[in-house]
């Protein structure tokens, strides 16, 4: 059951699960996903079926989060971030017929707690972005990102690894 105010031009399927105090921007498409408490989703965002987004996340405008992505709590996703879930996508098989859902090879991606992904980044499938890691704007993430590290560039490379800082509550 959806318990938040739906914005103008929002498209949500009946199987979307929204946590408490979720805020949604206009012109969004949500299909069969789960979004945790206190998460904010900006305008022009699409989140596909089977995707899980944790609590207290911010998903900025114009981002695409496809099937197979799991985003843990306290994650920041910048504007225009794109996740990819198939390393070798094709529309048709060798017989020329459209591929059925079961013919795609989905590779899951996990974004761990407290990570931050800068605007315009592209995250390839099958990677793990570690806890409190930072992905620079415009980076192309093709491999796992170590926790507490900063990666930048195309392809993304480690720039620094930060010391673990404890949160002051």
Per cent of the chain over pLDDT 90 is: 80
Query: Within a 10 A sphere around the Cβ of 113, how many other Cβ atoms?
Result: 17
Assigned domain for 98 exists: no
Q: How many domains does the chain have?
A: 1
Confidence (pTM): 0.91
Query: pLDDT tens digits, residue range 129-141?
Result: 999 999 999 999 9
Task: Report yes or no: 128 and 135 within 8 Å, Cβ to Cβ.
Answer: no
Dihedral pair phi/psi, residue 33, rounded to 5°: -105, 170
- Per-residue model confidence (pLDDT) at position 3: 62
Query: Within a 10 A sphere around the Cβ of 18, how many other Cβ atoms?
Result: 23
Which domain CATH number covers 151? 2.160.10.10
Say yes or no to pLDDT of 53 above 50: yes
Longest CA span, the chain: 59
Assigned domain for 56 exists: yes
The whole-angstrom separation of Cα 113 and Cα 74 is 6
Task: Report yes or no: 27 and 47 within 8 Å, Cβ to Cβ.
Answer: no
State which residues form the domain around 69: 1-87+104-162
Assigned domain for 99 exists: no
Assigned domain for 32 exists: yes
Looking at residue 129, what DSSP letter applies?
E
Assigned domain for 121 exists: yes
Say yes or no to pLDDT of 168 above 70: no
The whole-angstrom separation of Cα 80 and Cα 44 is 9
Average confidence (pLDDT) over 91-110: 91
Assigned domain for 167 exists: no
Assigned domain for 20 exists: yes
């Amino acid at each position: 059951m959806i318990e938040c105010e739906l914005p103008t031009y929002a498209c949500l399927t009946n199987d979307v699960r929204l946590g408490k105090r979720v805020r949604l921007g206009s012109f969004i498409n949500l299909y069969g996903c789960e979004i945790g408490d206190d998460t904010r989703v900006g305008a022009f965002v699409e989140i596909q079926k089977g995707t899980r987004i944790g609590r207290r996340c911010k998903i900025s405008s114009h981002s695409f989060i496809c099937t197979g992505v799991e985003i843990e709590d306290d994650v920041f996703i910048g504007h225009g971030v794109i996740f990819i879930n198939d390393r070798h996508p094709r529309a048709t098989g060798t017989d020329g017929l459209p591929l059925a859902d079961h013919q795609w090879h989905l590779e899951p991606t996990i974004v761990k707690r407290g990570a931050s992904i800068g605007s315009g980044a592209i995250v390839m499938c099958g990677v793990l972005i570690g806890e409190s890691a930072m992905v620079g704007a415009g980076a192309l993430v093709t491999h796992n990102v170590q926790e507490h590290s900063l990666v930048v560039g195309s392809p993304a490379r480690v720039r620094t690894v930060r010391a673990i800082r404890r949160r002051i509550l």
